[in-house]
């Protein structure tokens, strides 16, 4: 393949990967022309490559999506010809502060997306009339604390996105004081608090895992060598329990027979015999329960001794996992201290 053909193919591939957004941003936009009606405004907006749609079917609220379009600042005047525009998307368009002058007149606006546009602090002053705005996305813009000061005039603002902007933690804190309930993403102060809480939980879990490992190792050292002897004791206890159960069952049968016979004969001698046999049964039953309890205790000791080494190994693994979690949480907390 010749170098020329290779380069042509590479250019074609890059153009295809860039998609419609690259084409939209480099294509000449039709000049702005005043629209006499809402239908005409929608037509002009669609000629730019934008989309006008209802936010919810059978509802008057409109969303205008200018992404991948050739919209410029002047074209935003078309929005004034539409009723109930509540959402405008302008991500990666050529909009500047001049365009925000027109957006600031759309008082029905509730959500505004300005990601990766050229808007600055100066443009934020044009949004102060948007009293219904509850979401503003400024990701990747040059907006700083001075711009946030203008946003204090938006009483219903609930969500603000400021990734990759120039705002500071103190600027965010002041804005949140002015607008109760506002959620800012990212919020360095809140994120640090969460990171600290996560580290404390991880540290507590690590401390607990260390204590459990010490206890598990002690059990392994003390009990594991006794497993064989405990197995013998368990077999003996199990045997005694079985014998005691057999005696109790035999005594129960004799007691039932004696009681039946006493009821039939109704003689003092028969009643006394039934009482004596019943006493023998009660003693046999108590002996069985005691033997059974001893057997269960020995069984628990044997199982604990048999599993001691395995439990110690598992405790070691848990400790290593919690140590990694604590280290990650500590590093994240430290990143806020450094200002990363």
Share of the chain above pLDDT 90, in %: 51
Lowest mean pLDDT among 44-48, 161-165, 190-194, 335-339: 335-339
The pLDDT of 241-262, averaged and rounded, is 81
Model-wide pTM > 0.75:
no
pLDDT at 43 over 70: yes
Provide the mean pLDDT of the chain. 86
Quick one: pLDDT at residue 93?
Answer: 97
Quick one: pLDDT at residue 252?
Answer: 81
The pLDDT of 236-261, averaged and rounded, is 81
Cβ proximity of 69 and 61 under 8 Å: no
pLDDT at 330 over 60: yes
User: pLDDT tier at 288 (50, 70, 90 boundaries)?
Assistant: confident
User: pLDDT tier at 27 (50, 70, 90 boundaries)?
Assistant: low
pLDDT at 297 over 60: yes
Element (H or E) spanning 89, and its range?
A: strand 85-89
CA distance 93 to 263: 103
Quick one: pLDDT at residue 336?
Answer: 74
Cβ proximity of 120 and 147 under 8 Å: yes
User: pLDDT tier at 4 (50, 70, 90 boundaries)?
Assistant: very low
Nearest to 110 by CA among 89, 126, 141, 81: 89
Share of the chain above pLDDT 70, in %: 90
pLDDT at 298 over 80: no
User: pLDDT tier at 25 (50, 70, 90 boundaries)?
Assistant: low
DSSP summary character for residue 83: S
CA distance 92 to 110: 20
Domain annotation for the chain: domains and CATH numbers:
27-186 (3.80.10.10), 193-338 (1.10.287)
CA distance 274 to 268: 10
């Amino acid at each position: 393949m010749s170098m020329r053909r290779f380069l042509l193919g590479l250019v074609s591939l890059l153009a295809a990967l860039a998609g419609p957004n690259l084409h939209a941003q480099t294509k000449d936009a039709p000049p702005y022309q005043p629209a006499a009606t809402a239908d005409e405004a929608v037509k002009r907006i669609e000629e730019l490559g934008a989309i006008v749609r209802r936010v919810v079917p059978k509802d008057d609220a409109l969303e205008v999506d200018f992404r991948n379009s050739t919209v410029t600042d002047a074209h935003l005047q078309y929005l004034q010809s539409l009723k109930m525009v509540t959402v405008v998307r302008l991500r990666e368009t050529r909009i500047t502060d001049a365009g925000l002058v027109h957006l600031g007149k759309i008082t029905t606006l509730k959500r505004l997306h300005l990601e990766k546009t050229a808007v600055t602090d100066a443009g934020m002053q044009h949004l102060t009339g948007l009293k219904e705005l509850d979401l503003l996305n400024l990701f990747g813009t040059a907006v700083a604390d001075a711009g946030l000061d203008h946003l204090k005039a938006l009483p219903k603002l609930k969500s603000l996105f400021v990734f990759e902007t120039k705002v500071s933690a103190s600027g965010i804190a002041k804005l949140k004081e002015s607008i109760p309930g506002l959620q800012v993403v990212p919020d360095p102060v809140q994120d640090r608090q969460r990171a600290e809480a996560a580290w404390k939980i991880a540290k507590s879990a690590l401390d607990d895992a260390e204590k459990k490992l010490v206890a598990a190792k002690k059990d392994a050292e003390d009990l594991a060598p006794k497993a064989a002897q405990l197995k013998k004791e368990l077999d003996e206890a199990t045997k005694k329990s079985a014998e005691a159960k057999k005696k109790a069952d035999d005594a129960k049968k004799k007691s039932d027979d004696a009681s039946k016979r006493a009821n039939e004969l109704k003689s003092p001698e028969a009643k006394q015999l039934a009482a004596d046999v019943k006493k023998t049964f009660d003693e046999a039953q108590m002996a069985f329960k005691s033997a059974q309890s001893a057997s269960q205790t020995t069984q628990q000791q044997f199982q604990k001794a048999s599993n001691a080494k395995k439990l110690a190994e598992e405790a070691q693994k848990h400790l290593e996992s919690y140590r990694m979690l604590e280290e990650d949480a500590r590093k994240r907390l430290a990143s806020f201290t450094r200002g990363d």
